Amino acid sequence: MLDLLLRHCTLPDGRTDIDIGIEAGRIVMVQPQRAAQSAREIDCAGQLVSTPFVDAHFHMDSTLSYGLPRVNQSGTLLEGIALWGELKPQLTQDAITERALAYCDWAVAKGLLAIRSHVDVCDDRLLAVEALLQVRERVKPYLDLQLVAFPQDGVLRSPTALRNLQRALDMGVDVVGGIPHFERTMSQGAESVKLLCELAAARGLRVDMHCDESDDPMSRHIETLAFHTQRLGLQGRVAGSHLTSMHSMDNYYVSKLLPLMSESGVAAIANPLINITLQGRHDTYPKRRGMTRVPELLAAGVPVAFGQDCVMDPWYAGGSGDMLEVAHMGLHVAQMTGQAAMRQCFDAVTTTPARILGLEGYGLDVGCRADLVLLQAGDPVEAIRLRAARLLVMRGGKIIATTPPATATLHLPGRPAAVDWRTA
Ligand code: FE2
């Protein structure tokens, strides 16, 4: 006897009328309609049942701090960094914890059950590290939080950053971060990549660097990151986040870079909402989009995930933990409007980041953990178009969030009373 049976599910790969059986928190059956005994049944009525959303790039130490200590007047990256510098000395562990937990509530409600968050290690007190390590434990029953030791002020540029980064890893932070384009010179940037990759290899950790978050076409640290990934045997464990300089690079150089990235097993993480707002700020017109070359990376075999990056913090006043909003923006900025490309945008906020994070038990196969989201949509493309309601969010076979269906009532003579935006 099953604990739960989800009937009449549509899956992201296009299979319809599938029943999903759940027992002891795991998926034990994924089959076309089959008679099965279950303690409980939910009729999914042909709507999309997906694995949970995964955010490959976030900053949980600054989230929900918008307006503290003041608003970013210009809305630029540089004023955001300056503002964060002003806010850091005023931070308390309790305030960081409270805001992070509130954001995790938002995330769960949106079916976002795994987040990789960078945590700034350039404050000698490591308050944010301590706070987020505690948050990681508190949310573990319902959300996987992976932490990256991020030297915001530059691991070589900031005098105590390397020591602090090592302390953060000793305390249990999961991933090695970096910011080579923010070091003082190109060669210092390259040196930081080498140093941090060697540190990760020695400790058996993953790497995720803010890499080339710049409109400067000569910012080529991704080349160095790919090189050291291959040299140190870190294939499949390294990601370059942002990579916005690739947007502005010379096409001939990119034709050499893409196969190098593919060979080295480096993944790319684009952050469409933030890249489209922060890049191209020194341009008049035409203004560059500033997002990395997503379709070309995918065509070269490089895994590409989309991240949220910021929600209501010194850099960005928007966001709500909705990875469908992120996919929606990614689809537009990258002009990924073909049928297959739109589905790749859905993968970029679900299965691809799950692989990049190395999540265990993630998937819709028998044996995977029963972490599922029922969406008010008929397929992944419709889910993105409607930023579909997460009717039901499940973790280990237990319902942890529900949202009523989006609907509207019309008061127009001669027209139907209820509006339903679905067509799939
Ligand atoms: Fe970031």
Task: Write out pLDDT tens, residues 377-411.
Answer: 999 999 999 999 999 999 999 999 999 999 999 99
Mean of the pLDDT values across residues 140-144? 98
pLDDT at 365 over 90: yes
The closest alpha carbon to 184, from 166, 163, 159, 209, belongs to 159
Q: What is the 12 CA–ligand 1 centroid distance (Å)?
A: 28
Give the DSSP per-residue string, 321-356.
Answer: S-HHHHHHHHHHHTT--SHHHHHHHHHTTTHHHHHH
Q: Regarding the domain with residue range 53-357, which homologous superfamily does it belong to in the CATH classification?
A: Metal-dependent hydrolases (3.20.20.140)
SS3 at position 296: helix
Q: What are 287's two structure tokens?
A: 């203004």
- pLDDT the model gives residue 81: 85
Mean of the pLDDT values across residues 180-206? 98
Mean of the pLDDT values across residues 207-215? 97
**Per DSSP, which regions of 60-191 are E strands?**
112-120, 144-150, 175-176
Q: What is the 309 CA–ligand 1 centroid distance (Å)?
A: 5
Q: What are 101's two structure tokens?
A: 């937990």
Q: What is the 94 CA–ligand 1 centroid distance (Å)?
A: 23
Q: Which residues have a catalytic role annotated? A: 213
Q: What are 253's two structure tokens?
A: 């150089």
Mean of the pLDDT values across residues 290-318? 97
CA distance 137 to 126: 17
Where are the chain's structural domains? 4-51+363-402, 53-357
Q: Which of 68-82, 192-206, 275-289 has the lowest mean pLDDT?
A: 68-82
Q: Which letter does DSSP use for residue 197 in this model?
A: H
Computed from CA positions of residues 247, 201, 350, 393, in that sequence, does the dihedral angle turn out positive or negative?
negative
CA distance 134 to 339: 42
Q: What is the 90 CA–ligand 1 centroid distance (Å)?
A: 21
pLDDT at 37 over 90: no
Q: What is the 50 CA–ligand 1 centroid distance (Å)?
A: 26
Cα-based distances in Å from 282 to 92, 209, 288:
35, 24, 9
**Residue 202: burial class (beta carbons within 10 Å; 0-12, 13-18, 19+):** exposed
- Cα distance from N-terminal residue to C-terminal residue, the chain: 33
Q: What is the 57 CA–ligand 1 centroid distance (Å)?
A: 6
Cα-based distances in Å from 2 to 19, 21, 27, 49:
12, 6, 10, 18
Q: What is the 201 CA–ligand 1 centroid distance (Å)?
A: 22
Cα-based distances in Å from 357 to 4, 326, 381:
28, 18, 24
Q: Regarding the domain with residue range 4-51+363-402, which homologous superfamily does it belong to in the CATH classification?
A: Urease, subunit C, domain 1 (2.30.40.10)
**Residue 280 neighbours by CB under 8 Å, 6+ apart:** 215, 287, 288, 289, 290
Q: Whole-prediction pTM value? A: 0.97
Task: Tell me whether the omega of the peptide bond preceding residue 89 falls within 30 degrees of 0, making it cis.
Answer: no
Per cent of the chain over pLDDT 70 is: 100
